[in-house]
Structure 1
C-alpha cells in the first residue's frame, strides 16, 4: 500500500492566521513548516484510491495531487478538521454526476448526517464497525480516547497475505490498555502528536505530545513511527534528536507499507 500525507497539521493548520510566532512566519515565507489538516491518500494495486479523513483543506490537497475525483474515504471522527471538506467533495460529485462512499463507525456517520443531512445524495455512507476490506488489506476501526474532545477512532490495517500490520491514530491521548492492544507488532505507527511537550493541564488536552509519543513507541516498538497532527509548536528546522525509526510527517510525503 502506498501512503501519501495530504496533510500533517493539527485542527488549526500552520500558519495560524492570527499568529506571528517564528514557525508561522517561516511557514508564510519558505513554507517548510506549512501544514494542512491531517489526511492521507491510500493506494493499493487493483483498487481505487481512498482518502483517510476529509478536512477543510480537501480542495487544495486534491489540486496538489492532480486529482479530480476520489471514490471513497475512511473517517476517524466528525470534528471539523476531519470532515470539513465533505461539502466541497459532495458538490464536486454533483457536478461530475458521480457518487463517492464514506466508511466509518456508525456513531461517526450519525454525527455527519446530523450536520449535513443532505450529503448522502452524493456521499452515501457505509458502517464499518466490524471492519472492511481494501484489496488484500483488512481495515478495522477501534475507538480511542480523545481527551477533552471525547472520542475518535483509529484504524488498524493488516495485509492478509504478508501479515504486515500498520495503524493510524491521529487524535488520541491516554489510551487504555485495551485501546493500546492494536499497537503491538506494527511495521508502521502513524501517531498524532500536536506539541513537542504540551504544558497545559491534562484535563484540557486532546492529543499526545511528542514526548509521550516516544514513550508509547518505546512501549510497543513499531518498526517505524511517523508523528502527524503537528501544531505550530513543532519546527522542522529544529533537531529534536528523534530515534532513527521516528520522523515527522511532511506534506506530500509518500511511503510504501
Structure 2
C-alpha cells in the first residue's frame, strides 16, 4: 500500500487568516509550515485510489496530485474539516456523470445526510461499521473520544496476506485502554497531535498534543509514528528531539507498506 499525505493541518489549517505568529508568517513566505487540512490517499495495484477524509481543501489537494477522477473515500467523522470537500466532489461527479462511494460508520453517514440531504445523488453512502476490504487489506473503524467535540472514528488496517498492520487516528484525546487496544502491534501509527504542549484546560480540548502523543507511542510501541493534524503551534524548523522512529507529517509525504 502506498500512502500519501494530502494535508497535515488541523481544523484551521496554517496559516490562520487572523494570525501573524512566526509560524503563520513563515507559512505565507517560504511555505514550509503551510498546511492544508488532514487527508490521506491510499493506492494499491489493480485497485482505484482510496481517499481518507475529504476536507475543505479537497479541490487544491486533487489539483496538487493531478487527480481528475476519484471514486471512493473513507470518512472519520462529520466535522467540517473532514467533510467540507464533499459538495465540491459531488459537483465534480455530476459534471462527469459519475457516482462515487463514501464509506463511514452509520452515525457518521447519518450526520452527513442531515447536512447534505441532496448529496447521495452523486455520492453513494455505504455503512462500514462491520469493516470492509480494500484489496488484501481489512479495514476496521472504531470509535474514539474526541474531547469537547464528541467522538470520531479511527481506522485499523491489516494485510490479510502478511499480517502487517497500521492505523490512522487523527482526532482523539483521552482514549480509554479499550480504545487504545487497536494501536498495539502496528508497523505504522498516524496520530493527530495539534499542539506541541497545549495549555488550554482539558475540558476545552479535542486532540492530543505532541507531548501526549509521545507518551502514547511509548505505551503502544508501533514500529513507526507520524504526527499529523498539526496546528500553527508546530514549527517544522524546530528540533523536537523525537526518537528516530517518530516524525511530523508533511504534505506529499509518501509511505509504502
Shift of 1:44: 1.0
Q: Which residue of 2 aligns with 1:168?
A: 168
Shift of 1:188: 0.2
1:197-241 CA distance string (max 9 Å, x none)? 001100000000000000000001100000000000000000000
Report the TM-score, using the length of structure 1 for normalisation: 1.00
Matched, 1:137 2:137: yes
- Separation of aligned partners in 1, 2:109 and 2:29: 39
- Separation of aligned partners in 2, 1:52 and 1:188: 16
Q: Which residue of 1 aligns with 2:92?
A: 92
Matched, 1:153 2:165: no
Q: Which residue of 2 aligns with 1:181?
A: 181
Structure 2's unaligned 5+ residue stretches are none
Q: Which residue of 2 aligns with 1:238?
A: 238
Matched, 1:41 2:35: no
Report the TM-score, using the length of structure 2 for normalisation: 1.00
- Separation of aligned partners in 2, 1:162 and 1:67: 30
Q: Which residue of 2 aligns with 1:222?
A: 222
- Separation of aligned partners in 2, 1:17 and 1:184: 38
- Separation of aligned partners in 2, 1:60 and 1:49: 17
- Separation of aligned partners in 1, 2:45 and 2:226: 23
- In structure 2, the residue corresponding to 1:40 is in which secondary structure? strand
Q: Which residue of 2 aligns with 1:56?
A: 56
- Separation of aligned partners in 2, 1:30 and 1:99: 39
Matched, 1:249 2:249: yes
Q: Which residue of 2 aligns with 1:197?
A: 197
Q: Which residue of 1 aligns with 2:67?
A: 67
Cα RMSD (Å): 0.3
Matched, 1:12 2:12: yes
- In structure 2, the residue corresponding to 1:124 is in which secondary structure? strand
Shift of 1:46: 1.3
Q: Which residue of 2 aligns with 1:26?
A: 26
- Separation of aligned partners in 2, 1:144 and 1:45: 31
1:178-200 CA distance string (max 9 Å, x none)? 10110110000000000000011
- Separation of aligned partners in 2, 1:120 and 1:44: 26
Q: Which residue of 2 aligns with 1:78?
A: 78
Shift of 1:45: 1.4
- Separation of aligned partners in 2, 1:141 and 1:87: 24
* Number of equivalent positions: 257
- In structure 1, the residue corresponding to 2:88 is in which secondary structure? helix
- Separation of aligned partners in 2, 1:103 and 1:42: 14
Shift of 1:164: 0.2
1:145-196 CA distance string (max 9 Å, x none)? 0000000000000000010000000000000011011011000000000000
Q: Which residue of 1 aligns with 2:3?
A: 3
- Separation of aligned partners in 2, 1:104 and 1:189: 20
- Separation of aligned partners in 2, 1:24 and 1:128: 38
1:54-81 CA distance string (max 9 Å, x none)? 0000000000000011100000000000
Q: Give runs of ≥4 in structure 1 deviating > 3 Å.
A: none
